[in-house]
Structure 1
Amino acid sequence: MNATRVDPTLLRRLPKAVLHDHLDGGLRPATVVELAAEIGHTLPTTDPDELAAWYVEAADSGDLVRYIATFEHTLAVMQTREGLLRTAEEYVLDLAADGVVYAEVRYAPELMQRAGLGLDEVVETVQEGLAAGMAKAAAAGTPVRVGTLLCGMRMFDRVREAADLAVAFRDAGVVGFDIAGAEDGFPPADHLDAFEHLRRESVPFTIHAGEAHGLPSIHQALQVCGAQRIGHGVRITEDIVDGKLGRLAGWVRDRRIALEMCPTSNLQTGCATSIAEHPITALKDLGFRVTLNTDNRLVSGTTMTREMELLVEQAGWTVEDLRTVTLNAVKSAFLPFDERKALIEDVVLPGYAAAL
């Protein structure tokens, strides 16, 4: 099939898997407006369409720190039980409407305690909202499974506390762990104690690395901390010269370490110059286990369907390429092997066969 002729309606029907998507970066603009009004929080605008445009414009700065600053308003409306229940449920329904069949949602519970919720209450409430969304999606004939990654904020001192939380809730919908926040200046090895604890408890984790900081960040995440996946990882290309892989790049490819790549987000934070030249295509062609992700759907003004469409239109991707990255994501999901196998054989492959 010619990539330039792929119908957008077909792309929406394709089964999708997303491993890197932040709960607090994917709210509906109208929900932010309504919840902000209820708590008296001032927004840049109270028009949902204008707010959506503001997010994308504010995030489109080429700077990761400014990009992260846009979360002030979404986090403001996620401090109460009501706010968390609504945003978590809508998160799932929006994914289901976009054809997502498996997702891992990540967030930092410590950022949702301003109104007095305890860490356990935050996690329990988000899980309740996610479960409600999954039930509604299944009833509507668009089932989606969502697992949770709890995040510690790498620039603060509560990462071990967040890791303990992931261990405590690993049988209640939490499937793994991550550290998030400003990468440059806050190396993952600063939180080695948390990662060692997770390894002892057999809780898988990914680490944001190779986005705002280069190869040392990826090396630390993998070789020092023991990450099973890398969040973003676009700067692994710095270890590839004329198609020849250096030792770190070879390690990542040969051991099938998934790279959670987010093209639109990477353009916004200055990690890539265009969709056409985004490293995801070259890395895919070199045999890396790349996965396609949204990162923050509100902040980046995107969906999984849009990310696919951009790669098809601007980077020459085919439906077969999209199937490959979808399979990559499911293979690297923080799920038991038999559940990943069933998802591939019963959902993803039949879904692509039916669409084609």
Structure 2
Amino acid sequence: MNSTALSHQQIRKAPKVVLHEHLDGGLRPQTLIDIADEIGYDKLPETDAGKLADWFFKAADSHTLELYLKTFEHTIAVSQMSHTCARIASEAAQDLAADGVVYAEIRYAPEQQLRDGMMLEEVVEATQAGFEEGIRKAKEAGHEIRIGTILCAMRHANRSAEIAKLAVAYRDKGVVGFDIAGGEIGNPPEKHLEAFNFLRKESMPFTIHAGEACGPDSIHRAVGICGANRIGHGVRLIENIDLSGDNVKLSNLAHYIRDQGITLELAPSSNLQTGAGAETIGEHPISVFYALDFNVTVNNDNRLMSRTDTSREFQLLSETFGWGWAEIKRCTENAMESAFIHQPERSRILEQAIRPFYAALEGNTQ
């Protein structure tokens, strides 16, 4: 334990940015229980909020992405009606804002929310209404947050072209980008090339989950074949970086990722749970990527499954690697500059919500 590490409470006060947050991975345990009771869903493993939170964390701590993803069956089951979609989205906005997040891109897969008869458009509109309510309530509580939505297509399914068109249809109505999610093994990103080609034609940015369950070749396919603007996780890019000698050697792919400033949406706690390249925070390659000047960002991925928030992720990095305000500032600015919203809005949040806080810190240390 680093005795000079920043505390959770200190970091909580700092403005932060999240680019990789799954809506169905961040439910409040009590909300799960409430909705399950309302709809007659009797498959929850626990009906006490504290015990349910413990169950999700332990069940997700499987060290394989496939088993980790199975926990989502419960959260998806309670996300099948417009009012539950709205409640979940509203609470996500409030919870992130309370943690000091000033901008978040929250992603979800609307194709998984059609079991009770909703149409794709209804899912998007109900969720967006929930985000707007959450933003209002957060502001009333003294916390400002801006949220952009990323629509996901499931990479094992065949609706990606449809979801890409949905994302474009709701551009500037809350949706800012596109992603593919789900099991990485056996589901290469180029399977969805039609969707990615359409998005490029429509000038719509997208990120791709890659380099989590699969190695650097998955990242190459996401970037080189599909043209991803950002990489969801990308943690296994470390396998293409040789640290054995006096001089660090990067593969052509690693050079390209760094040279082009392609953003790595890293989520340390989640990466440990899915076995993505590390078993402890100390072994996580985020500090290597940071030191080598990759475009590093720090994210939650799934707050419920990882029992975390953005402040805790930075706290762990502070305790483990000695990160201070300079590292938090740089990762926050990296994330804001990599956001899928338009440049004037990115600049506004940077100049009004982020940089004044860190400038004040620097002033206090002089």
Superposed pair shares fold, TM > 0.5: yes
Residues 26-80 of structure 1, C-alpha deviations (whole Å, 9 max, x = no match)? 0000000010011111210100000000000000010100000000111111101
Q: What does 1:1-356 correspond to in 2, within 5 Å?
A: 4-42=4-42, 43-242=44-243, 243-271=248-276, 272-354=278-360
CA shift at 1:171, angstroms?
A: 1.8
Q: Hey, what's the Cα distance between the residues in 2 that align with 1:143 and 1:281? A: 30
What amino acid does structure 2 have at the position aligned with 1:290? V
Residues 290-317 of structure 1, C-alpha deviations (whole Å, 9 max, x = no match)? 1000000001110001101111112221
Secondary structure in structure 1 of the residue aligned to 2:153: strand
Q: Hey, what's the Cα distance between the residues in 1 that align with 2:39 and 2:295? A: 44
CA shift at 1:355, angstroms?
A: 5.0
Q: Is the 8 A contact 1:3 1:312 kept in 2?
A: no
Gaps of 5+ in 2: none
Secondary structure in structure 2 of the residue aligned to 1:196: helix
Secondary structure in structure 1 of the residue aligned to 2:339: coil
Residues 125-174 of structure 1, C-alpha deviations (whole Å, 9 max, x = no match)? 00000011111112222110000000000000111111010010002010
Q: Is the 8 A contact 2:5 2:323 kept in 1?
A: no
Secondary structure in structure 2 of the residue aligned to 1:134: helix
Q: Hey, what's the Cα distance between the residues in 2 that align with 1:55 and 1:355? A: 37
Residues 267-304 of structure 1, C-alpha deviations (whole Å, 9 max, x = no match)? 00011111112111110000000100000000111000
Q: Hey, what's the Cα distance between the residues in 2 that align with 1:51 and 1:176? A: 32
Secondary structure in structure 1 of the residue aligned to 2:336: helix
Q: Hey, what's the Cα distance between the residues in 2 that align with 1:274 and 1:348? A: 30
Residues 97-128 of structure 1, C-alpha deviations (whole Å, 9 max, x = no match)? 10000000000000011110000000000000
CA shift at 1:354, angstroms?
A: 3.7
Secondary structure in structure 1 of the residue aligned to 2:178: strand
Q: Is the 8 A contact 1:11 1:308 kept in 2?
A: yes
Q: Is the 8 A contact 1:14 1:355 kept in 2?
A: no
Secondary structure in structure 2 of the residue aligned to 1:259: strand
Q: Identity of paired residues, percent?
A: 54
Relative to structure 1, is the Cα distance of residues 228 and 3 closer, same or farther in structure 2, using a 3 angstrom cutoff? farther
Secondary structure in structure 2 of the residue aligned to 1:307: helix
What amino acid does structure 2 have at the position aligned with 1:40? G
What amino acid does structure 1 have at the position aligned with 2:140? A
What amino acid does structure 1 have at the position aligned with 2:325? V
Residues 219-258 of structure 1, C-alpha deviations (whole Å, 9 max, x = no match)? 1101110100000000111111122111000000011100
Gaps of 5+ in 1: none
Question: Normalising to structure 2: TM-score of the pair?
Answer: 0.95
Q: Hey, what's the Cα distance between the residues in 1 that align with 2:251 and 2:113? A: 41
Q: Is the 8 A contact 2:5 2:315 kept in 1?
A: no
Q: Hey, what's the Cα distance between the residues in 2 that align with 1:108 and 1:177? A: 10
Q: Hey, what's the Cα distance between the residues in 2 that align with 1:277 and 1:342? A: 36
Secondary structure in structure 1 of the residue aligned to 2:306: coil
Q: Hey, what's the Cα distance between the residues in 2 that align with 1:223 and 1:44? A: 42
